[in-house]
Amino acid sequence: MTKAEKVDFTIKTLREIYPSIPVPLDHKDPYTLLIAVLLSAQSTDVRVNKITPFLFERADNPYDMVKLSIDEIREIIKPVGLSPMKSKGIHGLSKMLIEKYDGVVPQEIELLEEFPAVGHKTASVVVSQAFGIPAFPVDTHIHRLMYRWGFTNGKNVVQTEKDAKRLFPKEIWNDLHLQIIWYGREYSPARGWNLDNDIITKTIGRKTVIDNYYNAKKTR
């Protein structure tokens, strides 16, 4: 297959498997999505979705959030990990939202990246999923699959994002990045990977990745 044929195969297969794509993190508006994505750093969406109802019951907007102390926020979010940094970030970004934007989450990645504890990936998720603005957030699943499929050299997420944006049409970025996330979790995980179930990697994947997989199986 040519690179273009591999890209077309990937898009077609993902559309067939995921004709509708749920957003993994529970939220009701841009602010609650921003908080949920921040909490998901080095945690799981399942764990975050268990914690955010308790947090949002106390404060689901920046005005109520700043009424909580950093320690109060930290106590609620402890189960998701990195609670000292995340609680300061949540309180700090809520205060900044009120002071600079009248409590309204901005739609520009560059502005979101100015908030405490908000990096490029978090900002990209918010603009794509909350506002429908084309972006291609790269998480561990996308980074892993883009390498397995031979679409990037896998050296870092910055390069992976550039390669993804270059290969895939802009109008499908928002759906595609969610489709790849779900596919990575269900068919091409980092652990417990069964290549026989991973139709995309098995069809278009890097030869070295496939060879390493089967060689590892032989030594088990």
Q: Does residue 220 register a pLDDT over 70?
A: no
Active-site annotation holds for 139: yes
Active-site annotation holds for 121: yes
60-64, 94-98, 135-139: least confidently modelled range: 135-139
pLDDT, tens digit, for every residue of 155-206?
899 999 999 999 999 999 999 999 999 999 999 999 999 999 999 999 999 9
- Which residue ranges form the domains of the chain, and what is each CATH number? 3-20+137-218 (1.10.1670.10), 30-131 (1.10.340.30)
The pLDDT of 104-112, averaged and rounded, is 98
pLDDT score, position 23? 85
pLDDT score, position 160? 96
Write down the pTM of the prediction. Answer: 0.89
SS (H, E, C) the chain: CCHHHHHHHHHHHHHHHCCCCCCCCCCCCHHHHHHHHHHCCCCCHHHHHHHHHHHHHHCCCHHHHCCCCHHHHHHHHHHHCCHHHHHHHHHHHHHHHHHHHCCCCCCCHHHHCCCCCCCHHHHHHHHHHHHCCCCCCCCHHHHHHHHHCCCCCCCCHHHHHHHHHHHCCHHHHHHHHHHHHHHHHHCCCCCCCCHHHCHHHHHHCCHHHHHHHHHHHHCC
pLDDT score, position 219? 75
128 within 8 A of 135, measured Cβ to Cβ: yes
pLDDT score, position 68? 98
Find the catalytic residue in 6, 86, 139, 163. 139
pLDDT, averaged across the chain: 95
Find the catalytic residue in 6, 121, 163, 198. 121
pLDDT band for 93, please (50, 70, 90 cuts).
very high
